[in-house]
């Protein structure tokens, strides 16, 4: 019976072989590189898959991401809880390519809550909504009617968020399933922030809150979203591309100012 090779001896032999120039290990058994790979098992037919599904326990075979989002949002008792729930929500793949969760900015409890579409590059980098060129234009627009995200009084402040808290790749439009997953969080966000009016910036915001698209037709017309007065407006990014539309945006801002004046 051969004696077992102890650790120290094995290491010494290995170091000796390395000194000799050995640079790879070869197995004791030869490998046939030309042997055909075994065929993959045939994929079961749909009928067979259905029969297998019937044999499973009565559980949901697929995760209902919207229902999970709804439960997580309902459990949040504060804005801090809601942010934590979003950070823990792992059913939206957008989070995998984003640098930061973009939750909100401004004054919670302000009379006006602005809901944008999704973060862009600057927002993703800084973790705040509307901080790029479009955000700078938005600040000027709000300042023109006496509002500011840095104000400390509810009458002068605004609270800002987006439908999606993560940046879509290449700034593409959010997919319907992504909007559906985030909608329970948006609705709870509104309930916790307790604004008096909503300003919906762009098509995606109108789609999420009002169930409608066509911002150029919707803008300037007051509607109702989640039980609150809602004013659709063209997105500041659109105004940067189409400066001639700023006249209509100014009219919308005056309409918002008039609505706030009536509510005092």
Q: Mean pLDDT, to the nearest integer, of 146-165?
A: 97
Output the pLDDT for position 35: 67
Output the pLDDT for position 13: 74
Residue 52 pLDDT > 60, yes or no? Answer: no
Lowest mean pLDDT among 24-33, 53-62, 94-103, 152-161: 53-62
Residue 166 pLDDT > 90, yes or no? Answer: yes
**What residue segments make up the domains of the chain, in order of their start?**
65-263
Lowest mean pLDDT among 45-59, 67-81, 159-173, 176-190: 45-59
Fold of 65-263: Uracil-DNA Glycosylase, subunit E (3.40.470)
Please tell me whether residue 174 adopts helix, strand or coil conformation.
coil
**Confidence at 14, pLDDT banded by 50, 70, 90:** confident
Residue 206 pLDDT > 90, yes or no? Answer: yes
**Confidence at 55, pLDDT banded by 50, 70, 90:** low
Please tell me whether residue 231 adopts helix, strand or coil conformation.
strand
| Residues composing the chain | 264
Residue 103 pLDDT > 90, yes or no? Answer: yes
Helix 65-75 to helix 176-193 angle, to the nearest 10 degrees?
10
* CA dist., res. 146 & res. 178, Å (int): 34
Average pLDDT of the chain to the nearest whole number? 88
| b/e 21-46 (16+ beta carbons within 10 angstroms → b) | eeeeeeeeeeeeeeeeeeeeeeeeee
Output the pLDDT for position 61: 38
Q: What is the separation of C-alpha 77 from the centre of its chain, rounded to a whole number of angstroms?
A: 21
* CA dist., res. 116 & res. 202, Å (int): 7
Q: Is residue 74 within 8 Å of residue 82, measured between CB atoms?
A: no
């Amino acid at each position: 019976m051969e004696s077992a090779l102890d650790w120290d001896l094995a290491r010494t032999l290995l170091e000796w072989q390395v000194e000799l120039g050995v640079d790879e290990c070869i197995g004791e058994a030869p490998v046939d590189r030309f042997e055909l790979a075994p065929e993959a098992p045939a994929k079961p037919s749909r009928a067979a898959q259905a029969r297998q599904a019937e044999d499973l326990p009565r559980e949901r075979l697929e995760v209902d991401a919207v229902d999970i989002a709804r439960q997580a949002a309902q459990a949040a008792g504060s804005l801090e809880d809601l942010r934590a729930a979003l950070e823990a929500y792992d059913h939206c793949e957008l989070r995998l390519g984003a640098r930061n969760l973009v939750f909100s900015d401004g004054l919670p409890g302000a009379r006006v809550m602005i809901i944008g579409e999704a973060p862009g590059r600057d927002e993703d980098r800084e973790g705040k909504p509307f901080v790029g060129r479009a955000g700078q234009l938005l600040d000027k627009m709000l300042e023109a009617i006496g509002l500011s995200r840095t104000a400390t009084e509810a009458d002068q402040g605004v609270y800002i968020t987006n439908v999606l808290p993560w940046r879509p790749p290449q700034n593409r439009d959010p997919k319907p399933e992504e909007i559906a997953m985030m909608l329970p969080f948006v609705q709870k966000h509104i309930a916790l922030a307790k604004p008096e009016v909503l300003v919906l910036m762009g098509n995606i915001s109108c789609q999420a809150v009002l169930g409608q698209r066509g911002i150029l037709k919707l803008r300037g017309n007051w509607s109702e979203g989640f039980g609150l007065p809602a004013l659709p407006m063209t997105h500041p990014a659109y105004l940067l591309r189409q400066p001639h539309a700023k006249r209509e945006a100014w009219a919308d801002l005056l309409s918002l100012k008039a609505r706030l004046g009536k509510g005092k």
